Amino acid sequence: MEEPAIVCRGLTKRFGTIEALRGVDLAVPRGAVFGLLGPNGAGKTTAIRLWLGLTRPTSGSATVLGEELPPRAALARTGYMPQEVAVYGDLTVAENIALFGRLHGLGDDAIARRTDALLRLVDIPDRRDDLVSTLSGGMRRRMSLAAALVHNPDLLLLDEPTVGVDPELRATFWRFFHRLTARGKTVLITTHYMEEASRCDLVGLLHRGALLARDTPAAIKERTRAENLDDAFLALVRETSEARV
């Protein structure tokens, strides 16, 4: 059996007296859309930063694409789209993608091919020569996604990719994500929109740094006898709080 894309064993991260992640055990299978759900401050971004090697765990361990943290070699096969769009406004769309391609060691011919394909994928092929500073917020997020994909990664980590985008673009993004997993890629998405969980193959529910559940959306609703994931999340929070009393 193929090793999961991400495996966490007792993963814990503290910032002073604040425990951002508390003993998280988690496996993210390859070829799936995995949603890491929870309210702001739940620990979602901290988890991504750990997986990217941007910070070190206080205790516990994790592997990313089979490599222990920090996953230096695995980063060449990992794409990252931060919550805050990190692009250069004084460059064109194509120039931004080329810059990220060169950072990943791609040559000019490969960058040109990937740029054309990616701009078609995110449906902005006619904006390749536009300055990023002239684009709308939604267009910038499309370009940021294309930049994260320029080196054809096996694993894509997307931190709140649908925040601040309109419903039409949100639906478009989800079609992109499932198109990628159909090609064998693994897509991990953090979000605080519980209604988006139904679009994921599997979800993990985080609350105050603790993983409350990891399963299919349907199984979590069945376990908690809830009609939706918002109610399921609240039921799991109550269950956890009562267990500590």
Residue 93 counted as domain residue: no
Q: How far are the Cα atoms of 12, 14, 53, 69, 98 from residue 41, in angstroms, in the given order?
A: 15, 13, 20, 23, 34
Residue 147 counted as domain residue: no
7 CB-near residues (< 8 Å, 6+ apart): 26, 27, 28, 62, 63
pLDDT digits over 149-182, tens only?
Answer: 999 999 999 999 988 778 888 888 899 899 999 9
Q: Quick one: pLDDT at residue 203?
A: 97
Residue 117 counted as domain residue: no
Residue 190 counted as domain residue: yes
Question: By residue range, what is the domain housing residue 71?
Answer: 6-88+153-244
pLDDT digits over 113-143, tens only?
Answer: 999 999 998 889 999 999 999 999 888 988 9
Task: Supply the pTM of this predicted model.
Answer: 0.92
Residue 94 counted as domain residue: no
Q: Quick one: pLDDT at residue 241?
A: 73
Domain total in the chain: 1
Q: Quick one: pLDDT at residue 244?
A: 57
CATH number at residue 49: 3.40.50.300
Segment-wise mean pLDDT, segments of 10 residues, the chain, 245 residues: 92 96 98 95 96 97 96 94 88 96 94 93 91 92 92 95 83 90 96 88 96 96 93 91 60
Residue 10 counted as domain residue: yes
Residues in the chain: 245
